[in-house]
Amino acid sequence: MYKVIVFDIGDTLIGYEPDSITVITRRFDNIGIKITAEEAAKINQTMELGIAKQIYREINGAERLDDAAFIECIDRQILALPFVRAKINTAELEKAFKNAPIREKQNKIVKPNAHMVLQELKKKYRLGVISNYSASMLDYLHEADLADYFETIVISEIVGFEKPDPKIYECFLQQMGCAAKDCLYVGDHPFDVMGAKRAGMDVVWLNQIYNDMPEYIHERPDYILRDIGELISIL
């Protein structure tokens, strides 16, 4: 059925160390508040949904927030969670939370099963990449021995378009010399589903943190998986 399998990179084929749950937990540790792994996962989901919704608003004409305003927007949503509000219940704690480090250096790591999946699929399909990332990702793909699996690698910073802009998919199809109907796209983000479906591709959604697709995205994936290793079973 498919001739080409197209992959996202971040949180699809590669992950990060320390992971998001650890980074979130340390942010609370910095202000003397303990949270459980389950609570950190809920915060992570809230953050990802908030980030996606704000980006979606900006794509559709809303004012583009600078970094400080964007962080403030996401922090408001975290602080609105009832279990967070119960822990951060004074003005002093709220100020400390907002001043606590949000990010820390995360190293890229290849996801378990990623090499195995790519090795198996390359026997039957042409493989490619469409990823929103800086040009440095190209170097990492070579360092991690991933680059040679792919015939075409389209990185947003290099081509000047970001998913879900249809132009980034057009760039890929032109370079790959294939039709959208022959492609299956694999990605973890709701925008992966929206963009690839609008481009005419079938989509595997690696839904690793969401309860469901955000309500403002009307496109639906053809397959929903939890782990990249499950991809072999549907092809």
Mean pLDDT over all residues of the chain? 95
Q: How far apart are CA 110 and CA 92, in angstroms?
A: 40
Q: How confident is the model at residue 221 (pLDDT cuts 50, 70, 90)?
A: very high
Global confidence as pTM: 0.92
Tell me the residue ranges of DSSP E strands in the chain.
4-7, 14-17, 107-110, 126-131, 152-155, 183-187, 202-206, 223-225
Q: What is the pLDDT of residue 105?
A: 84
Q: How far apart are CA 88 and CA 44, in angstroms?
A: 17
In CATH terms, is domain 4-16+108-234 a member of 3.30.1540.10? no
Quick one: average pLDDT of 112-117?
Answer: 96
DSSP one-letter code for 164: T
pLDDT in tens, 185-200: 999 999 999 999 999 9
pLDDT above 90 coverage of the chain, percent: 89
pLDDT in tens, 140-187: 999 999 999 999 999 999 999 999 999 999 999 999 999 999 999 999
Q: How confident is the model at residue 227 (pLDDT cuts 50, 70, 90)?
A: very high
pLDDT in tens, 62-90: 998 998 999 999 999 999 999 999 999 99
Reported residue count of the chain is: 235
Domain boundaries, the chain: 4-16+108-234, 19-99
Q: What is the pLDDT of residue 190?
A: 93
pLDDT in tens, 136-147: 999 999 999 999
Q: How far apart are CA 156 and CA 195, in angstroms?
A: 13
Q: What is the pLDDT of residue 102?
A: 82
Q: What is the pLDDT of residue 101?
A: 84
